[in-house]
Structure 1
Amino acid sequence: MAGRLDGKVAVCTAAGQGIGRRVAEAFLSEGAKVFASDLDAGKLEGLDRFGTVETSGLDVTDSKAVSAYLASLPAPDILFNCAGYVHHGTVLDCDEAAWDFSFDLNVKAMHRTISGLLPRMLEKGGGSIINMSSAASSLKAAPNRYVYMATKAAVIGLTRSVAIDFIKHGIRCNAICPGTIESPSLEGRIADLGKSVGGTDKAKTMFVERQPMGRLGTPDEIASLALYLASDESAFTTGTTQLIDGGWSL
């Protein structure tokens, strides 16, 4: 079935690589007009091959920049919040600066985009908000992910709050909670872990071994779920935490 998002306007953050890139491509391929942003605008090159897109460099931790950017957009039908950062370590490795940065990027950035676009989505009659959380949150414990897990649990709370407050106004809000996904972000974590465990091959094996299916997930698999949540096919779905983790949380 093609054209699942025909006529819809989608706003996607962190669309330059990994999951964010693949989701933006999927939305475009299914007919949406996409406003794609990333901290590094250069990474957005090539999205126009998939459909009608407008690209912008955007630091989602800059409130003034976000407000100005959102004011320039038409009222969206879809908001996909993907920007995030994985901090490594326990509470003993997390000073106030690390805590503040993680919450600013992983949680407050979503508050900025949602609070900025929700009024116009309401005027339009509804819409779908999709937030990237993680299986490593209130759903599953992971070692050395202290502040990351705290932020991703907060994203679930934020998502459910928006869902219940606007459920009678045509707004749906859902969270995607992936397990370990092949991405540039993961490659960076593998490289860092490899320094202490005897190389990147060993580090990657450790990430794979914690997945019960014996493999990593792919950005395409996350994009398929995001596309469902963005489309009218999920009209009866809101306030959910959509686990897509290869059974890791079982």
Structure 2
Amino acid sequence: MSTKLAGKSALITGAAQGIGAATARVFAGYGARIVVADINEDGGRETVAAIEKDGGEAIFVRADITSGADMEAAVRATVDAYGRLDCAVNNAGVEEQGAALHEITEEAWDRLVAVNLKGVWLSMKYEIRQMLEQGGGTIANMASVAGLVGLPLGISDYSATKGGVVAMTRTAAIEYVRQGVRVNAVCPGVVRTPLLDQAIQGGMFTEAEAAALHPTGVLLDPEDVAETFAFLCADTSKHITGQSIAVDCGMSAG
């Protein structure tokens, strides 16, 4: 087993299920010490238990990423537990059922912006403060292929938030590169997660139609995205910053 994250502490938001939970397990498998942050306490503690069962080290912190106080506390809990914050994966996010732009409600817009954009900003705000104090660190944000290309799926609100994450990632990388803080983003295509299940059940598309969005015709697994997060947080990617890496089976290439 690789030890490319051995000794590093990692704060992972939205780690109670899906890509976040897979990322927490993958990071722990590479030797990182994990803080599982989520509003879902039961799911978060299940992720911790799975990591500990495999011999890893993890704690759970309840955190709502739309709350600055919660994210400040999550960073503090990481430092209290492990002495520093080496890596942060800002994975938590939400989706809405597909709707044409003129049919999107203010409530839906405000919710997506609050979680997917403001939440990433608040997470970075307190993570970067700590990383500046300790002399550096690495941040990887969850964006989406929808933030890179236009998709006819009725997700203009979601796309706007993920495009914002891509732009914020790029700018933050330049702001802090000389202070030892790297900032990148991952832009997945369609991944087998509970959010995908909700979209299918809501009638956005069938599973076959979702897979057909990829040139390869197959869906991604959460571990595929988790491994990319691990690469971006490892020292082997030390010269990579400000990038938005598409993990999308070629979806954005056309």
Match of 2:20 in 1: 20
Provide, for residues 210-248 of structure 1, a one-character-per-residue CA deviation record: whole Å limited to 9, x for no partner: 211011011111111111001001001000010010011
Query: Are the equivalent residues in 1 in contact too, given 2:27–2:230 (CA < 8 A)?
Result: yes
Q: 1:164 to 1:120 in 2, by over 3 A?
A: same
Cα deviation code 1:36-60 (max 9, x no counterpart): 1111111121232241101122221
> Match for residue 65 of structure 2?
60
Give the aligned partner of residue 188 of structure 1.
198
Return the alpha-carbon distance in structure 2 between the equivalents of residues 152 and 65 of structure 1: 22
Q: Does the CA contact (< 8 Å) of 2:137 and 2:180 recur in 1? A: yes
AA matched with 2:216: M
User: What's the TM-score, normalizing by structure 1?
Assistant: 0.93
The CA deviation string for residues 135-157 of structure 1, in whole angstroms up to 9 with x for no partner, is: 01233434200100000000001
Alignment RMSD, CA only? 1.5
State yes or no: 1:117 paired with 2:135: no
The reply on whether 1:49 has 2:53 as its aligned counterpart is yes
Query: Which AA in structure 2 matches 1:20?
Result: G
CA contact (8 A) 1:12 1:82 kept: yes
Alignment correspondent of 1:38? 38
Match of 1:215 in 2: 218
Kept after mapping to 1: 8 A contact 2:75/2:126: yes
Unaligned 5+ segments in structure 2 are none
Distance 2:107 2:199 in 1: 20
Alpha-carbon distance in 2 for matches of 1:141, 1:35: 34
**What's the secondary structure of 2:202's corresponding residue?**
helix
Give the 4+ runs in structure 1 shifted more than 6 A.
none
The SS at the match of 2:113 is helix
- Per the alignment, residue 200 of structure 1 pairs with none
Residue 24 of structure 1 deviates from its aligned partner by 0.4
1:76 counterpart residue number: 85
**TM-fit CA distance, 1:79:** 0.6
What residue number does 2:232 align with?
A: 229
Q: Distance in 2 between matches of 1:220 and 1:117?
A: 24
Answering whether residue 115 of structure 2 is matched by residue 105 of structure 1, we say: yes
Per-residue deviation at 1:207? 0.7
Distance, in Å, in 1 between the alignment partners of 2:88 and 2:247 is: 20
> Which residue is 2:11 aligned to?
11
CA distance in 2, matches of 1:230, 1:66: 20
CA separation in 1, counterparts of 2:215 and 2:146? 15
Distance, in Å, in 2 between the alignment partners of 1:163 and 1:142 is 30
Could you tell me how far apart the structure 2 residues matched to 1:49 and 1:154 are? 37
The answer to whether the aligner puts 1:179 opposite 2:183 as a matched pair is no
Structure 1 residue matching 2:146: 3-state secondary structure: coil
